[in-house]
Homo-oligomer: A and B are copies of this chain.
Amino acid sequence: MSTAHGARARARIEVTAAIKDEARKQLAAEGAAKLSLRAVARELGMVSSALYRYFPSRDDLLTALIIDAYDSVGEAAEAARDTADAAGPVQRWIAVCEAVREWAFAHPHEYALIYGSPVPGYIAPDTTVPPASRVGLVLIGIVRDALRGPGLTMPPLPAELRPEAERMAADIAPDLPPAVATALVAAWAQMFGLIGFELFGQFHRVVEDRGTFFRHGAGRLAAGVGLR
């Protein structure tokens, strides 16, 4: 077991969690750029150098927060999918999109951390890949179900894109037609375009009734993938 190694290992887990919690608090309050190791340590009543026993650098702390954020938004998407279980594919798609949007507005700085500009010089380790895929996998699942249920309207696929479309489909969802997989990836990115523009203020003085606007946009994305 992981608790087999006595009191020290247990303490380590607790301290690590406390550091992440405090860091998340500061992240939510001030954003990633103002997240300070020294401030975290100060708040926890420890000296700054002691913190380096748990996270070798500020970037490592950020990486931990990034993974947690991906898991958090992924969980929100999965929960929305499960709640809208009985509804049709389009309704479930929209429900998931709205859940992601709501998560983004509840955790703006964490959203910025994972979907905004990457911290300069920072390179995400491969550890972040699986958590980062969760939202995409939810969307893939909805389309997959639709394929076995009411079917899909096949999106267009020009000849020049066919090789890449087949490669992508084989990579991310071998049971989906290449045209659908391609449209899905595009819709996935476009959804975050809508959310990001709204969250980062680009809709200022442009869109007012943003909830309705987004709901309609999400529906059109679903149509673009072929859901009906």
Contacts and interface: CB of A to CB of B under 8 A. Distances in A.
Copy total for this chain: 2
A1 interface: no
A206 B117 contact: no
Interface in A180-219: 182-183, 185-186, 188-194, 196-198, 200-203, 205-209, 212-213, 216-217
Interface string A106-135: 000100110111111100100001001000
Contacts of A34: 120-121
Given A193-B193, A197-B192, A212-B161, A116 B116 contact: yes
A118 to B, nearest CB: 5
Contacts of A116: 112, 116-117, 200
Contacts of A132: 202
Interface in A143-194: 155-156, 158, 160-161, 163-164, 167-168, 171-172, 182-183, 185-186, 188-194
Main SS of the interface on chain A? helix
B189 A194 contact: yes
Interface of A: 30-34, 109, 112-113, 115-121, 124, 129, 132, 155-156, 158, 160-161, 163-164, 167-168, 171-172, 182-183, 185-186, 188-194, 196-198, 200-203, 205-209, 212-213, 216-217, 220, 224
- List the 7 shortest-distance A-B pairs measured between CB atoms, nearest first: A193-B193, A31-B120, A116-B117, A112-B117, A190-B190, A164-B209, A189-B197
Given A109-B120, A115-B202, A161-B216, 7 more contacts: A124-B201, A129-B205, A158-B216, A168-B206, A189-B198, A189-B202, A224-B224
